[in-house]
Amino acid sequence: MKIRVMVIDDSAFSRRTITKMLEGLPGIDVVGYAINGEEGIQKIIALKPDLVTLDLEMPKMDGFTLLRILTARFSIPVIVISAQNQADKVFKALELGAFDFIPKPSSAASPDLLMIQGDLHQKVLQVMNNKTRIPFCQAGILPDSVKGDLTSFTATDVNLAVDVVAIGASTGGPPALQRIFASFEQSVPLAIVVSQHMPVGFTHAFAERLNRSSTFSVKEAEDGDPVRPGHVLIAPGGKNLTFDVQGNQVIARVKQPDPTERYIPCIDVMFESCAAIYQSRMIAVVLTGMGNDGSRGIKAVKKHGGYIIAESNETSVVYGMPREAAATGLVDKIVPLQQVAKEIMIKSSLL
């Protein structure tokens, strides 16, 4: 059965180009297009697509208003296709319920748009493999099946069992990370490092957005940054985050990825580097995402005595990376997203 797609974009060039790229994918049927959110709603009701691609800046009804309506009334995954200079708007869209996003190479009509074809095909395949999943973490609503203890946690003066928490995420990761950090009532004496699969040009805005809503100090990692309690370092898009020891200080190293690495920033690379330094005093967390990034890295974590948490199927936007991690038999705890922060606190002797 073919997946039915609707393209919503006010640019005629973008509509034609995106439609052409989608029609080149087996199993895809582009059933229609719309030039703004208002027309989009009407056609979604009439044509009942399985997937929508969406521009954010449109006349009459913009993409944000459309997303709010889709979240409230429909169960249709949305892939945002937006210019790189709209990074903060992209994260707002993800919080409103977008499945994922693809950056346009240029905000102007340009043949460069064809450069997103591989990324577009990959994202659509993710939707095809996960089209029945409606993740609570993106809509911001907790269904009864996953409601649990959402208490905020407060640090106490104790000897910590853990120095660093290393978190890996992909599709669905931005709102999931925001939810985890928001679970802490105040900054706790843990260092946190994050590898979130994300393209170049977005991680700086992502880190700033997390910093505004978190009690931690969050920033995009730069080479030489110290890994410190109460601080979060986000791996830069298109680069890998590793670590080194200088005197009595652990510092971040930002490195070019190996050409053979499929997922960037690479979670495996971050986990392996972190485990070699922190050994038993680290927690590795594998969140939502497609593929198997992280499953090799947790072997190094376990070898050095670290603790491993994976997000459960019930809250993962894409239960790929957590499933592959669990399949290794090395995961210590599998929990829904809203319990990840609590599990970190328990293992760190902060609860």
Tell me the C-alpha distance between 316 and 137, whole Å: 8
Q: Look up 258 and say whether it is catalytic.
A: no
Q: Looking at 170, 195, 312, 316, which residue is catalytic?
A: 170
Relative to beta strand 240-246, strand 231-234 is unpaired
Q: Looking at 197, 214, 225, 273, which residue is catalytic?
A: 197
Helices within the chain (DSSP H only): 12-23, 37-47, 63-73, 87-96, 117-129, 136-139, 173-182, 203-213, 267-278, 297-303, 321-327, 340-347
Closest CA to 322 of 298, 306, 351, 349: 298
Q: Look up 293 and say whether it is catalytic.
A: yes
Do the beta carbons of residue 35 and residue 9 sit within 8 Å?
yes
Q: Looking at 82, 293, 316, 348, which residue is catalytic?
A: 293
Alpha-carbon separation of residue 244 from 6, 224, 253 (angstroms):
48, 9, 7
Closest CA to 86 of 173, 206, 194: 206
Span between the terminal Cα atoms of the chain, in Å: 50
Tell me the C-alpha distance between 172 and 318, whole Å: 7
**Residues classed as catalytic:** 170, 197, 293
